[in-house]
Amino acid sequence: MFFEYADTGSWTSSTYKRNENDFKSISFRQRVAKNMSNRNLRKIIIGEDINIPLVLSPIGICGLQYANGEILAAKAAEKKGIPFTLSTMSICSIEDVAENTSKPFWFQLYMMKDRTFMDNLIKRAQSAKCSALVVTLDLQVMGQRHNDIRNNLEAPPKINLNTVMQFVSKPSWCLNMMTAKKLNFGNIMGHVTNVTNLSSLASWTADQFDPTLTWEDIAWIKDRWKGKLILKGIMDSEDAMLAVKAGADAIIISNHGGRQLDGAPSTISVLPEIVDAVNSKIEVHFDGGIRSGQDVLKALALGADCIHIGRPYVYGLGAKGQEGVEIAIEIIKKELDLTMAMCGETNISNVGLHNLHHNPFKIIN
Ligand SMILES: Cc1cc2nc3c(=O)[nH]c(=O)nc-3n(C[C@H](O)[C@H](O)[C@H](O)COP(=O)(O)O)c2cc1C
């Protein structure tokens, strides 16, 4: 049920599949006889010097893919010199991750109706010295995911015939879970009034995503959060310009990995028009459908400043914990490095449209 939670989109999963498939129609411009030694993948992203322009996306309930999953993914990111983003809907709390890592991580915020809880959550991210706040704007209401309904997914999982059968068939997962510090939402449990047990936690959470969220709430957040602010879930040039106006330091072009509006375009297809609209005023980050270093290079060539990945590292985490996440990052890094070289480029900051042979997502002004 946790693999299926990750490996799904909303409704027909058409946007989820489109995110991956649209990369296939872009091709590279191959160059030869250029000095390809001394390659550099480092880049400054929102003021942070990182080893590769790659960030681990916020992913809910990583701690149920693998015991203490958020801590392990954060450690892997730290070891590889890239940022990790902790989800509001994580199993390990902000404090758990901060206590077990030595570098600042990013924190992702879902706007909830309970503004006292929100105020406190922002303060907790500040005390944990998170270096960026990523506010997700595309989940005011929740896209329907058929797998999760069929599996009756909850944190922690409900005990019924279906779940028992799944546990019995996955003994190593069960053993691993016995080492988990927590099995429910660590950022929420113990931090909201009237939530004292698991059933009240489940109903509180389901009711809390705020459909009234508007740009005025971003001003409310900015009054409280003085650090770097990144707005996630932008799919439209007009919204991108509103994000610039709202004072964001960066946006993330994202359709939530195809988990929200099924039928929305792929993220790679809207990247060029959003880059054009933002016109270098703030950084444009990108996620959705990245499955290789080649995909990373294509998105950078189309104008993204930095790339975020979700599922590639979650699969690594589910398979092998921290080591799995490190391997996933390493595979992408190596593919990126070699592909960049074969395109005749030695510095990741110089990658651009000139590295592409065919780009079906040109903007026609
Ligand atoms: C299993 C899963 C859980 C997710 N949970 C969150 C979340 O808690 N907060 C959030 O902002 N985005 C969440 N996302 C979206 C990711 O942050 C990211 O936008 C998406 O995974 C990128 O697409 P990719 O998986 O194709 O790389 C989730 C995605 C997946 C696959």
19 lines ligand 1 (CB under 6 A): yes
Q: Could you give the CA distance from residue 314 to residue 10 in angstroms, rounded to a whole number?
A: 18
Is the model's pTM score more than 0.75?
yes
Torsion, Cα 333 338 340 341, to 10 degrees, reads 140
Measured in Å, residue 257 CA sits from the centre of ligand 1 at 6
6 lines ligand 1 (CB under 6 A): yes
Q: Could you give the CA distance from residue 296 to residue 340 in angstroms, rounded to a whole number?
A: 10
Q: Could you give the CA distance from residue 300 to residue 329 in angstroms, rounded to a whole number?
A: 17
Among 1, 90, 136, 256, say which to mutate for ligand 1: greatest number of ligand atoms within 8 Å of CB: 256
290 in Cβ contact with 312 (< 8 Å): yes
Cβ-in-10-Å burial (0-12, 13-18, 19+) of 49 comes to: exposed
What pLDDT shows up at residue 216? Answer: 96
Q: What is the helix (H) or strand (E) element at residue 297, kind and residue range? A: helix 293-301
The answer as to whether 364 is a domain residue is: no
3-state secondary structure of 123: helix
Residue 27 — φ and ψ, nearest 5°? -125, 155
111 lines ligand 1 (CB under 6 A): no
What pLDDT shows up at residue 365? Answer: 64
Residue nearest to atom 28 of ligand 1 (CA): 59
Q: Could you give the CA distance from residue 293 to residue 316 in angstroms, rounded to a whole number?
A: 15
Among 16, 57, 107, say which to mutate for ligand 1: greatest number of ligand atoms within 8 Å of CB: 57
Q: Could you give the CA distance from residue 30 to residue 266 in angstroms, rounded to a whole number?
A: 25
70 lines ligand 1 (CB under 6 A): no
Instruction: Supply 273's token pair.
Output: 């028009």
Q: Could you give the CA distance from residue 19 to residue 257 in angstroms, rounded to a whole number?
A: 7
The answer as to whether 338 is a domain residue is: yes
Q: Could you give the CA distance from residue 230 to residue 108 in angstroms, rounded to a whole number?
A: 9
How confident is the model over 98-156, as pLDDT tens digits? 999 999 999 999 999 999 999 999 999 999 999 999 999 999 998 889 988 888 887 77
What pLDDT shows up at residue 198? Answer: 63
What pLDDT shows up at residue 157? Answer: 80
The answer as to whether 245 is a domain residue is: yes
DSSP structural state of residue 131:
S
Instruction: Supply 247's token pair.
Output: 């004072």
Measured in Å, residue 288 CA sits from the centre of ligand 1 at 9
The answer as to whether 84 is a domain residue is: yes
Sequence-ordered strand ranges (E) for 2-102: 27-28, 43-45, 48-50, 54-56, 85-86
User: Which domain range does residue 83 map to?
Assistant: 2-358
Residue type, 204: W
The answer as to whether 365 is a domain residue is: no
Low-confidence ranges of the chain (pLDDT < 70): 197-199, 365
CATH number at residue 187: 3.20.20.70
What pLDDT shows up at residue 151? Answer: 85
Question: How far is CA 134 from its chain centroid?
Answer: 10
The answer as to whether 75 is a domain residue is: yes
314 in Cβ contact with 61 (< 8 Å): no
The answer as to whether 363 is a domain residue is: no
Measured in Å, residue 164 CA sits from the centre of ligand 1 at 27
Q: Could you give the CA distance from residue 220 to residue 216 in angstroms, rounded to a whole number?
A: 7
The answer as to whether 148 is a domain residue is: yes
Q: How many domains does the chain have?
A: 1
Task: Give the contacts of 190 (CB within 8 A, at least 6 positions apart).
Answer: none
358 in Cβ contact with 105 (< 8 Å): no
What pLDDT shows up at residue 22? Answer: 98
